[in-house]
């Protein structure tokens, strides 16, 4: 807490500053937003909400959301330390979103793109029936309008509160992407920290190009689970995006300020190739 000239403690208004999780630098939030939520000191990529991602990637004012009123049901009447219904309500209050994914159509440097963007702040970005439906609807919109697809993943995996119904979404989204491939429409998967579990095991790793943000954790089972299972110490940086790039699991690691241009270039390349092959 700051102290004024008279030695009295001053209150720093809440919500004006953020501490970098890596270097612990205190950053003014407006400066952090201007820098696309990348720490100006150590260049650590802080986690972004789905709407922040949209603002970082899409041309201003072009993103039009669809399927925004889809909401989770409670087919199993799930209850652990709290009910599934209450957990969803808490996440809605915390994030201001109805679910862990947004779907819509927008422009990236003038190119129309259909997108689904996951929000880790909503129950860890977990994939339940609604998230799977929104990803599938995004692909189906792309097929109808002959547009490319971008999916931005940041997720702890399938949502356990929906049981097998959440696992069904892995097959559902993968089948939709199979139809997109047959139509020769490009799909770029952008994986951010963290992307794990059933999301990694389905659409996140099915992109024609898989783009990762720096230092992102990308895995099926997390490193702690693996270490406890095999009782061995894992290599430094194991399952981070740079490690996966070296071992051929992702195609490129791109700094956030360069993402918009890189994605636009990739979509332009694939769409030109599709046109020339027609």
Top-confidence residue, 253 or 230: 253
How far separated are the first and last CA of the chain, in Å rounded?
65
HSE on the CB side for 250, CA within 13 Å? 28
Average pLDDT over residues 83-89: 97
Say yes or no to pLDDT of 1 above 90.
no
pLDDT band at 11 (very low <50, low <70, confident <90, very high): low
What was the pLDDT predicted at 9? Answer: 54
The three-class DSSP label of residue 234 is coil
pLDDT band at 12 (very low <50, low <70, confident <90, very high): very low
> What stretch of H or E contains 180?
helix 164-182
What was the pLDDT predicted at 232? Answer: 87
CATH classification of 47-277 is 3.90.226.10, yes or no? yes
What value does the mean pLDDT of the chain take?
93
What percentage of the chain has pLDDT greater than the value 90?
86
Contacts of 56 (CB under 8 A, 6+ apart): 36, 37, 48, 256, 259, 260
What was the pLDDT predicted at 10? Answer: 47
- On the question of a cis peptide bond just before residue 258, with omega within 30 degrees of 0, the verdict is no
Q: Which of 5-9, 108-112, 271-275 has the lowest mean pLDDT?
A: 5-9
Average pLDDT over residues 146-152: 98
Say yes or no to pLDDT of 13 above 60.
no
Buried b (16+ CB within 10 A) or exposed e, 142-166: bbeeebbbbbbbbbbbbbbbbeebb
What was the pLDDT predicted at 276? Answer: 87
pTM above 0.85, yes or no: yes
Say yes or no to pLDDT of 78 above 80.
yes
Check if the beta carbon of residue 17 is closer than 8 Å to that of residue 27. Answer: yes
Average pLDDT over residues 173-178: 98
Q: Where are the domains of the chain?
A: 14-46, 47-277
């Amino acid at each position: 807490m700051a102290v004024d000239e008279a030695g009295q403690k001053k209150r720093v208004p809440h919500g004006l500053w953020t501490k970098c999780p890596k270097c612990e630098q205190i950053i003014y939030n407006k400066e952090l937003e201007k820098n696309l939520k990348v720490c100006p000191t150590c260049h650590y990529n802080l986690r972004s909400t789905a709407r922040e991602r949209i603002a970082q990637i899409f041309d201003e004012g072009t993103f039009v959301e669809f399927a925004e009123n889809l909401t989770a049901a409670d087919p199993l009447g799930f209850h652990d330390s709290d009910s599934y219904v209450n957990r969803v309500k808490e996440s809605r209050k915390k994030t201001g979103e109805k679910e862990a994914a947004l779907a819509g159509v927008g422009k990236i440097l003038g190119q129309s793109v259909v997108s689904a963007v996951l929000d880790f702040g909503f129950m860890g970005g977990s994939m339940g029936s609604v998230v799977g439906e929104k990803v599938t609807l995004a692909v189906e919109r792309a097929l109808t309008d002959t547009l490319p697809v971008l999916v931005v993943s940041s997720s702890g995996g399938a949502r356990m509160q929906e049981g097998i119904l959440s696992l069904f979404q892995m097959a559902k989204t993968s089948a939709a992407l199979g139809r997109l491939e047959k139509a020769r429409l490009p799909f770029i998967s952008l994986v951010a920290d963290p992307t794990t579990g059933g999301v990694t095991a389905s659409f996140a790793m099915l992109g024609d190009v898989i783009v990762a943000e720096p230092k992102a954790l990308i895995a099926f089972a997390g490193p702690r689970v693996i270490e406890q299972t095999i009782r061995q110490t894992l290599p430094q940086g194991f399952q981070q995006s740079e490690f996966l790039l070296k071992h051929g699991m992702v195609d490129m690691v791109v700094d956030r300020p360069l993402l918009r241009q890189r994605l636009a270039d990739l979509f332009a390349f694939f769409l030109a190739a599709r046109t020339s092959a027609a």
